[in-house]
Amino acid sequence: MKYSKIFKSALAAAAVGFLALGLASTPAVAATANTTFSVTASVAATCSISASTLAFGAYTGVVNNATTTLSVYCTNTTPYNVGLDAGLSGGTVTTRAMKSGANTLAYWLYSDTNRTVNWGNTTGSWVGGTGTGSAQTLTVYGQIPAGEPMFIGSYSDTITATVNY
């Protein structure tokens, strides 16, 4: 009988312990915490410019017209102006000159198809626009006038195109 009392007592204690643990313990619940953070950026106004060669080809004493393009890339809504300097051959922005040794060959650069608006490097002669975030093409219209002295040689000049924004 002793075993039976001990067994009953142990069984009762185990049942009470099991119930106590079952009622007292709860399933593990995942906890979370959160926060926020700022995300920032800035886009500065910027422009870049590239140019292609203006090639007149052979000059025969008659008016010789040629064109080239400038490619201007400015950030969206950035206003800009492009100016063309006098070149390296000793001309001015109104009468530019290509050189072959000591000889020169005059030429002009214009911003319009009719070749009436000189494209210089001073306020009023600049060509402008507003950036779109993609490349914009500007055409440079060149002209060698008729009747220029025709000394044999290969003539060249270097123009600097400047974008101001």
Topology (CATH) of 47-164: Immunoglobulin-like (2.60.40)
- Gap between the Cα atoms of 122 and 138, Å rounded: 17
Contact 113, 138 (CB under 8 A): no
The pLDDT confidence band at residue 90, using thresholds 50, 70 and 90, is confident
Q: Which of 162, 144, 127 is nearest to 51 (CA)?
A: 162
Domain boundaries in the chain?
47-164
Rounded distance, CA 57 to CA 63, Å?
12
Query: 123: pLDDT confidence band, cut at 50, 70 and 90?
Result: confident
**Helical segments of the chain, H only:** 2-24
Q: What residues contact 155, with CB distance under 8 A and at least 6 apart?
A: 59, 98, 99, 100, 103, 104, 105
The pLDDT value given to residue 28: 76
What's the CA gap between 94 and 85, in Å, rounded? 10
> Does residue 12 register a pLDDT over 70?
no
Segment 127-151 mean pLDDT: 96
pLDDT digits (tens, 9 = 90+) for 17-71: 555 555 555 667 899 999 999 999 999 999 999 999 999 999 999 999 999 999 9
Q: Strands (DSSP E) along the chain, which ranges?
A: 47-51, 64-74, 79-84, 96-100, 103-110, 127-130, 135-144, 161-164
pLDDT of residue 97 exceeding 80, the answer is yes
* Per-residue confidence (pLDDT) for residue 91, from 0 to 100: 85
Residue 116 has pLDDT above 80, yes or no: yes
Positive or negative torsion for Cα 92, 93, 95, 99: positive
Instruction: Give the mean pLDDT of the chain.
Output: 89
Alpha-carbon torsion angle 135, 98, 59, 114, nearest 10 = 50
- DSSP lists the bridge partners of residue 84 as 161
